[in-house]
Amino acid sequence: MAQVARVSKMTVSNVLNGKPNVKASTRQRVLSAVEATGYRANPVARALAGQRHRLLSLVARRSNLPYVTEVIRGASEAAEALEYDLVVLMVGQRQSSDLSLFLRLSQGAAFVHADAPGLGVPPGDLPLHCVTVDGPTHDSLRVDNLGGSRAATRHLLELGHTRIAFVSGLLALSPEASLGRSDAAERLRGYQDTLEEAGLTLPEAYLQHGDYSPESGERAARALLALPEPPTAIFAAGDAMAVAVIHAAQDLGRRVPTDLSVVGFDDLPFFRGVRPALTTVAQPLGSLGEEAVRHLARLAQGETPAALPPPLATTLVVRDSAAPPPPHQSIQTP
Amino acid sequence: MAQVARVSKMTVSNVLNGKPNVKASTRQRVLSAVEATGYRANPVARALAGQRHRLLSLVARRSNLPYVTEVIRGASEAAEALEYDLVVLMVGQRQSSDLSLFLRLSQGAAFVHADAPGLGVPPGDLPLHCVTVDGPTHDSLRVDNLGGSRAATRHLLELGHTRIAFVSGLLALSPEASLGRSDAAERLRGYQDTLEEAGLTLPEAYLQHGDYSPESGERAARALLALPEPPTAIFAAGDAMAVAVIHAAQDLGRRVPTDLSVVGFDDLPFFRGVRPALTTVAQPLGSLGEEAVRHLARLAQGETPAALPPPLATTLVVRDSAAPPPPHQSIQTP
DNA sequence: TTGTACGCGTTATCAG
DNA sequence: CTGATAACGCGTACAA
């Protein structure tokens, strides 16, 4: 290659990297030689020589894909806007042996629903910068679960409901697992706090424990609606459960929202097709990916006091599945 | 590192690569030194030295995520089963500059909804093996659109429908773009062929052109239901349109499937929450990813006559949105 | 069985 | 402004 242009490879390197110290005529000669040969620098060699690529990695567990897909989309768009490349590494439970390759090549890595040690990545392989998104560690990029849960509960109160049941997500089993991974707990607390502030105390049976699965949602709904004094509203900590609640209620002859109001949490595009359209708390999943990438980019640029953004705002999206309670609440308990 | 074990790096290399020609005692010494230092071979240098990693790349356009997500899932699972690593490269319209890095590192690459030239990848950067999944080129891994479309149409005929409308997908605009990318055309043809074989000729207005978007589905539904002799069944070439058709029909006071049957195409998990549950043609999207990976793995192992698998079977999934037509069809045209 | 020398393709350093 | 030389960290081939 260098022969073709009759210069040293050094000069070729300088030309390709846009260094200013090349005479215009030489540069032209090199450029046309490059053109002629279709030559392209070998990125692997470049990496070995110590250059870091404008590259970010995103490592995601293959579970809950509908969730991570949105995060990936946001991350990918942000990366493109910032002129970074983004590779997505999908991992199962086993650690991916060549994770380290990409981690070395990248300027930073975001771990979604996981963290590096959790994936068996040796510290030595870590690139300069890391973020975990909704991960087990404390310094994780998060969403305001508490605020969203409060907003949803408040919404139901404002509609006039007093008998509001809750279907929880999967609460942490082990103490370690709970470290930070407290979505379900925060959503539960938002519900409980808001009711308490409103001076309401509800029967224990109004709190059902689910695990985010549709099955658990259906079970909870059947249990709640079989109660002597059933709730007029059910707030489920996840959309999948909320949709299952709607369907179970409909199967039991209840109209939603006329007879029963249902509110979800997530606003996954996945469930946009449901009718009645689900009133739910939207998590900014795309923004989660965006912010992760932005934060990584900031770190890469050397902004030392690059603080993690505060929990991202969740917003209540009012659609059709929640309405005022039926006027004659006591019809079932004469 | 070599110093620690008091051997040459050569021996370290041999130990790490499991070569048999090392004395057991030496191997032990190296192993414990590796353990102690936490040493790991640098994958970049290894790649530069000419080693190909057990790595496959999957390049996907960031558009239609619900679709590609399923393909990715299948590919990722298959890769794990085959003990390959898989990197996913999400690209926008612009070509990703570092695509070539990964392409060089991989043993093969699958392009979903795209092909290498289409992404501006120079041929020199291509790894040994490529597959395109549902891409523009002719040698692309595909799904049996024709068969699925025929099955759906036949199903409606067997239910007793004779007034069956069709909402097409986005038909190719330019001649080049149509090369292979003929999903929409094949689905249309399956519908037309089947009706023809049944000896039915339908009014031109029963063929509506959509573009896979919900909006186009709604438009088509409104147009069809406003006809003097509206169809009793609507077959939409995509789930998103089918769902839009259902909703539009319901908004116009039609019951689905009592008054109107609706059949979709895709079976995206995205729309599983819809009620009535959508009768639709399932595309094996996960299998598409799996087969792509398997094919790549076969090629990588040197199976020369590795033929591309035939189009993957689609299957009609009968759920609740299609039923026999209402008995008195002529009520609207006295 | 183990060690030496060289090459992979690039960039940094420093000399010319 | 340009070119020679030395890394980068590993694998391969061959020699000891």
Q: What is the mean pLDDT of residues A215-221?
A: 96
Residue A162: exposed, middle, or buried by beta-carbon count in 10 A (0-12, 13-18, 19+)? middle
pLDDT at A170: 87
A175: nearest Cα among A190, A167, A165, A185: A185
Q: What is the mean pLDDT of residues A111-117?
A: 82
Among chain B residues 47 through 106, which have CB within 7 angstroms of nucleic chain D? 48-51
Q: Could you tell me the pLDDT band of residue A333, with boundaries at 50, 70 and 90? A: very low
Chain A within 8 Å of B189 (Cβ-Cβ)? no
CB-CB under 8 Å, B40 with A125 = yes
Which of B235-239, B261-265, B279-283, B307-311 has the lowest average pLDDT? B307-311
How far does A201 lie from chain B, in Å, by closest CA?
A: 33
pLDDT tens-digit readout, A156-211 = 999 999 999 999 998 876 555 544 457 899 999 999 999 999 999 999 999 999 99
Q: What is the domain partition of chain B in residue ranges?
A: 1-53, 145-284
User: In chain A, what percentage of residues exceed pLDDT 70?
Assistant: 90
First CA to last CA across chain A, in angstroms? 92
Give nucleotides in strand D with any atom < 7 A to a protein C-beta: 1-5, 7-13
Q: Say yes or no to pLDDT of A278 above 50.
A: yes
pLDDT tens-digit readout, B132-173 = 998 877 778 999 999 999 999 999 999 999 999 999 998 876
Chain A within 8 Å of B85 (Cβ-Cβ)? yes
Q: Could you tell me the pLDDT band of residue B333, with boundaries at 50, 70 and 90? A: very low
| Range A1-53 classified under CATH 1.20.1290.10 | no
pLDDT at B330: 47
Q: Could you tell me the pLDDT band of residue A319, with boundaries at 50, 70 and 90? A: very high
> Which carries the bigger pLDDT value, residue A184 or residue B64?
A184
Output the distance from B78 CA to D10 C1' rounded to whole Å: 30
pTM of the model as a whole: 0.84
CB-CB under 8 Å, B100 with A85 = no
The neighbour count for residue A144, using CB atoms within 10 Å, is 20
CA distances from B121 to B103, B247, B261 (A): 9, 43, 46
Q: Could you tell me the pLDDT band of residue B305, with boundaries at 50, 70 and 90? A: low
Among chain A residues 33 through 62, which have CB within 7 angstroms of nucleic chain D? 45, 48-50
How far does A180 lie from chain B, in Å, by closest CA?
A: 27
Q: Say yes or no to pLDDT of B209 above 50.
A: yes
CB-CB under 8 Å, B104 with A96 = no
CB-CB under 8 Å, A269 with B273 = no
Output the distance from A221 CA to D14 C1' rounded to whole Å: 75
CB-CB under 8 Å, B87 with A87 = yes
* Helix H or strand E encompassing A46: helix A43-48
Query: Dihedral (C-alpha) B188, B190, B196, B202: value to the nearest 10 degrees?
Result: -30
B43: nearest Cα among B19, B20, B16: B16
Output the distance from B43 CA to D10 C1' rounded to whole Å: 8
* Helix H or strand E encompassing A62: none
- Which residues 121-180 on chain B approach chain A with CB closer than 8 angstroms? 122, 124-125
pLDDT at B107: 87
Q: What is the mean pLDDT of residues A65-81?
A: 90
Q: Could you tell me the pLDDT band of residue A283, with boundaries at 50, 70 and 90? A: very high
Q: Could you tell me the pLDDT band of residue B64, with boundaries at 50, 70 and 90? A: confident
Q: What is the mean pLDDT of residues A214-230?
A: 96
How far does A45 lie from chain B, in Å, by closest CA?
A: 6
Output the distance from B293 CA to C5 C1' rounded to whole Å: 40
Which protein residue has its CA closest to C1' of C8? B49
Which of A107-116, A142-151, A189-198, A224-233 has the lowest average pLDDT? A107-116
Chain B within 8 Å of A80 (Cβ-Cβ)? yes
Which protein residue has its CA closest to C1' of D2? A11
- For the ranges A69-83, A107-121, A168-182, the maximum mean pLDDT occurs at A69-83
* Helix H or strand E encompassing A281: strand A279-282
CB-CB under 8 Å, A124 with B40 = yes
User: In chain B, what percentage of residues exceed pLDDT 70?
Assistant: 90
How far does B72 lie from chain A, in Å, by closest CA?
A: 9
pLDDT at A211: 92
Distance CA(B151)–CA(A8), nearest Å, equals 65
**List of chain B residues whose C-beta atoms are within 8 Å of the C-beta of residue A60:** none
Q: Could you tell me the pLDDT band of residue A334, with boundaries at 50, 70 and 90? A: very low
How far does B63 lie from chain A, in Å, by closest CA?
A: 9
Q: Say yes or no to pLDDT of A1 above 80.
A: no
pLDDT at B278: 95
Distance CA(A320)–CA(A118), nearest Å, equals 41
pLDDT at A6: 74
Q: Could you tell me the pLDDT band of residue A138, with boundaries at 50, 70 and 90? A: confident
Chain A within 8 Å of B52 (Cβ-Cβ)? no
* B1-53 and B145-284, same CATH topology: no
Chain B within 8 Å of A66 (Cβ-Cβ)? yes
Q: State which fold the A145-284 domain adopts.
A: Rossmann fold (3.40.50)
pLDDT at A180: 47
CB-CB under 8 Å, A38 with B124 = yes
Point out the nucleotide closest to B1 (alpha carbon to C1′): D9
pLDDT at B170: 86
pLDDT at B139: 78
Of B62, B76, B125, the CB nearest to A90: B76
Residue A307: exposed, middle, or buried by beta-carbon count in 10 A (0-12, 13-18, 19+)? exposed
Q: Say yes or no to pLDDT of B119 above 70.
A: yes
Of B85, B100, B275, the CB nearest to A275: B275
Output the distance from A74 CA to D7 C1' rounded to whole Å: 40
**Secondary structure (3-state) at B215:** helix
User: In chain A, what percentage of residues exceed pLDDT 90?
Assistant: 50
Q: Say yes or no to pLDDT of A7 above 60.
A: yes
Distance CA(B319)–CA(B243), nearest Å, equals 13
Chain A within 8 Å of B320 (Cβ-Cβ)? no
Q: Could you tell me the pLDDT band of residue A5, with boundaries at 50, 70 and 90? A: low
Chain A within 8 Å of B105 (Cβ-Cβ)? yes
pLDDT tens-digit readout, B213-256 = 999 999 999 999 999 999 999 999 999 999 999 999 999 999 99
Output the distance from A127 CA to C1 C1' rounded to whole Å: 38
pLDDT at B180: 47
Output the distance from A231 CA to C12 C1' rounded to whole Å: 72
A152 in Cβ contact with A282 (< 8 Å): no
Output the distance from A9 CA to C8 C1' rounded to whole Å: 15
The protein residues having a beta carbon less than 7 Å from any atom of strand C are A 1, 9-10, 13, 16-17, 40-42, 45-46, 48-51; B 6-11, 14, 21-23, 25-27, 45, 48-50
Q: Say yes or no to pLDDT of A80 above 80.
A: yes
Of A55, A73, A247, the CB nearest to B98: A55
- For the ranges A106-120, A173-187, A308-322, B176-190, the maximum mean pLDDT occurs at A308-322
Question: Taking CA atoms, what residue in B is nearest to A269?
Answer: B270
**Residue B171 CB closer than 7 angstroms to strand D?**
no
Q: Which two tokens stand for residue A217?
A: 């949602």
Write out the DSSP string of A147-204.
Answer: HHHHHHHHHHHHHT---EEEEE-----SHHHHSS--HHHHHHHHHHHHHHHTT----G
Q: Could you tell me the pLDDT band of residue B334, with boundaries at 50, 70 and 90? A: very low
CA distances from A85 to B100, B118, B332 (A): 11, 18, 59
Among chain A residues 6 through 25, which have CB within 7 angstroms of nucleic chain D? 6-8, 10-11, 14, 20-23, 25
**What average pLDDT does the structure give for chain B?**
86
